[in-house]
């Protein structure tokens, strides 16, 4: 059964979608079967793989969640061999309202994923920058949540609300939900502030913080405009190295590092 990891932080601009796209690509390139689910109405993870985000897409996450569509019909193959994508588009804007009157509205995503969960090693969910019903569905369906934290002054602002939401989900909806890890993003070692923020994050979350920091990198910022994860845009850049290192840490924590080494031999 695939491990489901939600990438969430209600604060915008922390590198959440960048992390979702590039960690999914890094896991898939390591030959683990991976599904990336875009549940953000901005659909940046979808366009990050060169998939059209307009109304002309017949099957998206919206059709699965609201219209009762078959999740298997909405999954697209990507340009990376072991990676599939469940796209989003602007129709998700109204989904929060449409979910309100549904029975067991917090479990819609969990039920949909049962049809495909056994087909993947990892399922990565890119959540919107909010703690509404869409994100709540993701946390209810997930095994764990990965929290990107920007290495800037307001890094810890609002994290209390996210941690409180995780606690509530654990208590009432998904008692098995864990914190997968805390990821420091947009890190610049030349700046004293970045180093101080990273230190504070590590002091607060301790060993939950990944050893890998995602460094500021121009190629990482350019890749989405080309509809590619950074590994396909520039495999040698710092961004590619950092996300591959992060994938190795995830495998290590999940006990999959041995399987990874076997596939590389």
Domain residue limits at 69 = 3-256
Count the domains in the chain. Answer: 1
For the chain, give the percent of residues with pLDDT over 90.
68
**pLDDT-based confidence at residue 265 (cuts at 50, 70, 90):** very low
Of 62, 111, 109, 51, the C-alpha closest to 84 is 51
Cα gap 121→259, rounded to integer Å: 11
What pLDDT score does 262 carry? 43
The answer as to whether 262 is a domain residue is no
pTM: predicted TM-score of the whole model, two decimal places: 0.93
Give dist(CA 80, CA 28) in Å, integer: 7
Q: Is residue 63 part of a domain?
A: yes
Over residues 24-69, the pLDDT tens digits come to: 999 999 999 999 999 998 889 999 998 877 655 667 888 888 888 8
* 161 SS3 class: helix
Tokens at residue 101, please?
């009157």
How many Cα atoms within 13 Å fall on the side-chain side of residue 32? 29
Strand extents, DSSP E, 166-247: 178-185
263 belongs to a structural domain = no
| Residue 2 per-residue DSSP state | P
In a domain, 245, yes or no: yes
User: Using one digit for the tens of pLDDT, what is the confidence trace for 208-257?
Assistant: 999 999 999 999 999 999 999 999 999 999 999 999 999 999 999 888 76
Q: Is residue 264 a part of any domain in this protein?
A: no
Which residues does 233 contact at the CB level (< 8 Å), separation at least 6?
219, 222, 223, 226
């Amino acid at each position: 059964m695939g491990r489901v990891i939600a990438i969430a932080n209600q604060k915008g601009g922390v590198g959440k979608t960048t992390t979702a796209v590039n960690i999914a690509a890094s896991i898939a390139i390591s030959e683990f079967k991976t599904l990336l689910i875009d549940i953000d109405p901005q659909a940046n993870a979808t366009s990050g793989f060169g998939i059209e985000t307009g109304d002309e897409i017949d099957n998206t996450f919206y059709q699965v969640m609201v219209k009762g569509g078959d999740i298997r019909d909405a999954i697209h193959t990507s340009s990376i061999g072991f990676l599939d994508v469940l796209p989003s588009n602007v129709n998700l804007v109204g989904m929060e309202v449409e979910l309100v009157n549904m029975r067991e509205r917090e479990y819609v995503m969990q039920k949909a994923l049962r049809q495909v969960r056994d087909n993947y090693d990892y399922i990565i969910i890119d959540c919107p920058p909010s703690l509404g019903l869409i994100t709540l569905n993701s946390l209810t369906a997930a095994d764990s949540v990965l929290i990107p934290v920007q290495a800037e002054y307001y890094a810890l602002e609002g994290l209390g609300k996210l941690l409180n939401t995780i606690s509530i989900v654990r208590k009432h909806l998904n008692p098995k939900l864990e914190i997968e890890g805390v990821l420091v993003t947009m890190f610049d070692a030349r700046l004293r502030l970045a180093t101080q923020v990273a230190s504070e994050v590590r002091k607060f979350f301790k060993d939950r913080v990944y050893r890998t920091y995602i460094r500021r990198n121009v190629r990482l910022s350019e890749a989405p405009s080309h509809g590619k994860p950074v590994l396909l845009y520039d495999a040698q850049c710092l961004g590619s190295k950092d996300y591959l290192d992060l994938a190795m840490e995830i495998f290590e924590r999940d006990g999959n590092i041995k399987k990874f080494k076997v596939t590389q031999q």
